[in-house]
Structure 1
């Protein structure tokens, strides 16, 4: 049951990201500047995240903990998020949201397959198996079918 709930949460997160991508693509198009939409997304995400942290959690972050974390971890995720979201907002009006999501998902899956296999970014090791390769090929076939007019 717990695993099913985790899959449901992951699925819901994907739905929310697709919705967010659609709204922010509209914002970027209206502003004629996708990067401003990324900034708006980042600011509003920080606002809602702060509300959640201050209202829902009992654990407080201490300065000692902050100093123990390597400095680059505070920024590198934001850099990759900025680039990834900017690319999404740029490509959605040109490709459509479904094609962008499918292509983006394919990139995520291929990278995660390699990152898990080699343990990049301190991720748990997940060896590449025949079943996973077949799964990726099926997804790539789906991308081709979705993008075929």
Structure 2
């Protein structure tokens, strides 16, 4: 459990850092080149490390539904949308909104048993948790707006 928690925290830190780096590349190269670069380098690194760690077992995909392999196409949307969100909102808001959205949709898909997931019971506490996070983003943004108004006076 502790290792899972630590790895999840590390993943969050890495996603935040990757999005900031992506937005900096995007300033010079544009959205599509940045996406190609990010996903291309990710593919090369994954393939190289996967071959080193798993060898030929890397390519054993028996029993997998073919459309699950297209998740990389979804990754294109993730990278492009986050870069544009960061450009328009800044990294803190864009990532906070994306993660809240991710949590909300995961709750929806779990509760309805969509996308091949086992149906999990929905509880109001789960919805309250997502709404509290969303409310935190609003408070964070509201606090910034108050500081900007105070600085302008």
TM-score, structure 2 normalization: 0.85
| Deviation of 1:129 (Å) | 0.8
Larger radius of gyration: 2
Match of 2:126 among 124, 129, 132: 132
1:72: which partner in 2? 67
Structure 2 gaps of 5+ residues are 146-153
Counterpart CA distance in 1 for 2:130 and 2:62 is 40
Q: Match of 1:49?
A: 46
| Number of the residue aligned with 1:102 | 96
Q: How many residues align?
A: 143
Distance, in Å, in 2 between the alignment partners of 1:94 and 1:74 is 31
Q: Deviations over 1:23-78 (max 9, x none)?
A: 011101112x112111101111011101211112256145xx45754432222x11
Q: Name the residue aligned to 1:20.
A: 18
- C-alpha deviations, 1:87-111, integer Å up to 9, x for none? 0011212211000001101110110
Q: Are the aligned partners of 2:26 and 2:34 in contact in 1 as well (CA < 8 Å)?
A: yes
Segments of structure 1 that go 5 or more residues without pairing to the other structure are none
Structure 1 residues 54 and 99: alpha-carbon distance in aligned structure 2, compared to 1, 3 A threshold: same
Counterpart of 1:144? Answer: 138
Cα RMSD of the aligned pairs, angstroms, is: 1.7
